[in-house]
Structure 1
Amino acid sequence: MGFNSGTEAGFLRLPQGDTAPYVDEIRDAAERYRLPMKLVSAVIRAESGFNPRAVSRKGAQGLMQLMPTTAATLGVRNSFDPRQNIEGGVRHLRSLIDRFPNNLPFALAAYNAGEKAVVQYRGIPPYPETQDYVTKVLYFYGAPIEGGDTPPTRIYQTVAPDGTIVYTNIPPRGKP
């Protein structure tokens, strides 16, 4: 089974990993750091597709794709251990949400591109990978995580007149 991620060209079909082995780890970390399980699952889905052995071309590792230096800072000794990776990733996500209060897209952009990039650009950096990542996580967060009959909420990205990137479930004028 797979799920869809919205793109400019339409929808991209991505493989769906098995969340069942990590439900306890996700719940424990989400409760400890006061984050919704669904948000943590959305980040993991976007980062690694629930593959605990995932390694990015830039060297990020594990379920929540922690860079080795970030993992070390967070006290994660083995990024491929699901419990340690989720604990470290959720702790990091919590710190970014606290750093960018009431602005989940900025926190997600910082998780992907780094805090400095979000501060430098005073918002989501103009990196296509980061912009796509934020859209994907918000999409997964609004979509049913474990199947279900409810269609996912489509998330639209627009640019306000002042250059601010806005994410919304309301279609821009002139688009279906």
Structure 2
Amino acid sequence: MFKLSRLALPFPRPVAGACALLGLAVLVHQPARAQTEAMLTLESLPRPTMPRAESGPVVPSQVLRWRQEAEAAEHGENGLPRDPVLAAQLYCRAARFGDAVAQYNLAWMLTNARGIARDDAQAAYLFAAAAEQGLPQAQAMAARLGEPLGAPPPCLRPPDGEAPPLAAQAVAARKPAPAAKPLAPPPPPPNAPEPIVRFVNLEAPKFQLAPHLVLAVMATESNFDAQALSPKNAQGLMQLIPDTAARFNVKRPSDPVQNIRGGMAYLRWLMAYFEGDVALVLAAYNAGERAVDRYRGVPPYAETRHYVRKILSAMGGQVSHPFDASVTKPSPMLALLRPRAS
């Protein structure tokens, strides 16, 4: 969690003179290694060596552990010396996979030159990424620093060999494909209550959605618990956050009928926005369409990648879905993914 010093000051003060003095005071008390490497930038940070057992898809527990190890290295905890360079390396790795606290902590190091070179532009991206996930401290700093400019930092870009495997489906979905016989839809999840299945079968076509898609999302979001409430205040069967509920005119998110219809309205909008690309739609339902646009595909967040894989598997690997282009204009990002005409 955040240290007391950071909670006492809800956000750092990136004023040039003050930050220069703060950075100097910190460097005087850092270990020899940190002093010699204090001017490393994010681009020049060597990547920490990870255990061989951590090969394969990254899961949320790994990301949490990287962030906790980064905090220990930054503050000299658990019997270890302070090592801000290692902290920045591990924060970067956790930030790449969507850990909002790691994104905030690394941005804080950047704005205060804590063992790595100060870079307000890259910090702005990291604060913005954490703010999109609802972190109050990050929201305050993102508002203060303004809209990020330039290229995203490496800690918000998948490195070579770690690009989300599903992102390529966005490109594939843009290519014309020969007509194929539609596959039979998978059966409802075994624990889906019969009244919910009947309601979804009746209502989903009104929203131009396949019922098995809605049921797969619902199973993953709430496991069919109408009273489900997440730490981010996502509510009900379709786990609508307050902003989404208001956006799609859901007056009572606790009402199962309104909740399901609100979730289907959002899925219909996402289908039009991402032109029927199921992987992008699912990623946006989990992480928000802005995150998908920014990453130009499925974000590298461990939770989001697992979410998309799980639902696609439940749907039998379906990667495209019919959509109504009149619902909304398509994402401008899609034009960047379309192959250029030869």
Question: Normalising by structure 2, what TM-score?
Answer: 0.37
Taking the aligned partners of 2:293 and 2:191, their CA distance within structure 1 comes to 33
* Displacement over 4 Å in runs of 4+: none
Q: Deviation at 1:31?
A: 1.1
Match of 2:211 in 1: 37
**Residue type of the alignment partner of 1:113:** A
**Residue type of the alignment partner of 2:254:** F
**Residue type of the alignment partner of 2:228:** A
Q: How does 1:54-133 map to 2 (within 5 A)?
A: 54-133=228-307
**Residue type of the alignment partner of 1:129:** E
Contact 2:218–2:237 (8 Å) recurs in 1: yes
37, 43, 52: which one pairs with 2:226?
52
Question: Normalising by structure 1, what TM-score?
Answer: 0.70
Taking the aligned partners of 1:27 and 1:80, their CA distance within structure 2 comes to 21
Q: Deviation at 1:27?
A: 2.0
Q: Deviation at 1:16?
A: 6.0
Name the SS of the counterpart of 2:315 in structure 1. helix
Matched, 1:139 2:313: yes
Contact 2:192–2:219 (8 Å) recurs in 1: no
**Residue type of the alignment partner of 1:89:** G
Q: Deviation at 1:78?
A: 1.4
Unaligned runs of 5+ residues in structure 2 are 1-55, 59-188, 318-336, 338-342
Bigger strand share: 1
CA RMSD of aligned residues (A): 2.3
Unaligned runs of 5+ residues in structure 1 are 1-6, 10-14, 143-152, 154-163, 165-176
Aligned residues: 134
Deviations 1:80-128 (A, max 9, x none): 2111111010010011011111411001100110000000000011100
Taking the aligned partners of 1:33 and 1:139, their CA distance within structure 2 comes to 23
Contact 1:54–1:63 (8 Å) recurs in 2: yes
**Which has the larger Rg?**
2
Bigger helix share: 2
